[in-house]
Amino acid sequence: MFSPERFARLARAHFAEHLRGYAWFLAGIVLIEIVVSILFAVSKTGFTEFNTREQGGYWFAGMFLFSSIFAGRYFQSMGQRASALLSLMRPASGLEKWLLAVATTLLLFPLAYTLLFYLVAVPDSALAYSQAQHQAQAAIADWTRHPTGDRPAAFDPKAYALFRPWDAFESWKDAVNFLLWLLFVQGFAMFGSLYFRTVPFIKTLLAALIFMLACALFVNLVGGDDGLVMSYWTASRPLAPWQRWTYGLLWFVVPSLLWAASYLAIKEREITA
């Protein structure tokens, strides 16, 4: 049963206990982003490769990587019996604990990650814009003095605009595809951290590898085309009516089952604690 007052107390207790760990995790992300910036700075082309497309690639890669790690670490206190008992004995229902996990991993972390991404990406994007513009102007000036070959392309400001996630989606289908993938990777990581009692991170990673190998083997044995399922939201290839329904349902059912399994795993831990 859900109680707003009890949920608020649970949230305050959770963040009072884990806020420092979350801060260190986010600081590690910023450090990685700074290292990437340094690699761009010392490269031969400087920041000129850090265009809008590259910014988007780093944002998406970081979102999937760090959000899955964060989701897998959310219930890390369950790995030790003493801290697990403390977490499970808090006066809150399994539903409230699950809802707090959903809100923290699916809402708060992506927002925090995006803010930290821009903390580093904004100055990097400004440097990339300035360097690319200067390089293009210098190339045109050099060609004007020595007109050999084709005229260099003029600087394109749009190619170096600051990346905005919503601009990366050409349609609502692209946004749904992204959200469902995010639900899947986070749900898989969180369920693995709850299902495996010892060294859950390594076991979840191994389970993910086995799952991918099993899927690839199954597709190879049946001679199917996994591209029809994987590109369901973005492909323009026509599908049979039964494929449209079953593939679309599969995209929603699998992430939902993972999050439902996480909820049931919390309930099981409460019973067996």
Query: Which range is most confident: 34-38, 111-115, 196-200, 216-220?
Result: 111-115
What is the DSSP annotation of 112-178? HHHHHHHHHHHHHHHHHHHHHHHHHHHHHHHHHHS--SSPPPPP-GGGGSPP-GGGG-SSHHHHHHH
Mean pLDDT of 59-83: 84
Mean pLDDT of 215-240: 66
Give per-residue pLDDT as tens, 96-121: 889 999 999 999 999 999 999 999 99
pTM for the structure as a whole: 0.84
**pLDDT attached to residue 235:** 67
Structure tokens at 129: 């814009």
Give per-residue pLDDT as tens, 148-183: 777 777 778 888 889 998 888 888 888 888 999 999
Residue 224 DSSP code: -
In the predicted model, what is the mean pLDDT of the chain?
Answer: 83
Q: Which of 204, 169, 199, 177 is nearest to 68 (CA)?
A: 204
Integer Cα distance of 256 and 273 in angstroms: 26
- Domain residues of the chain, as ranges? 4-272
- Higher pLDDT, residue 141 or 256: 256
Give per-residue pLDDT as tens, 128-145: 888 888 887 877 888 777
**pLDDT attached to residue 99:** 93
For residue 2, pLDDT over 60 is answered with yes
Q: Which of 9-13, 239-243, 259-263 has the lowest mean pLDDT?
A: 239-243
Radius of gyration of the chain (CA): 23
**pLDDT attached to residue 224:** 57
**pLDDT attached to residue 206:** 86
What Cα–Cα distance (Å) separates residue 173 from each residue in 29, 177, 232, 255? 29, 6, 9, 17
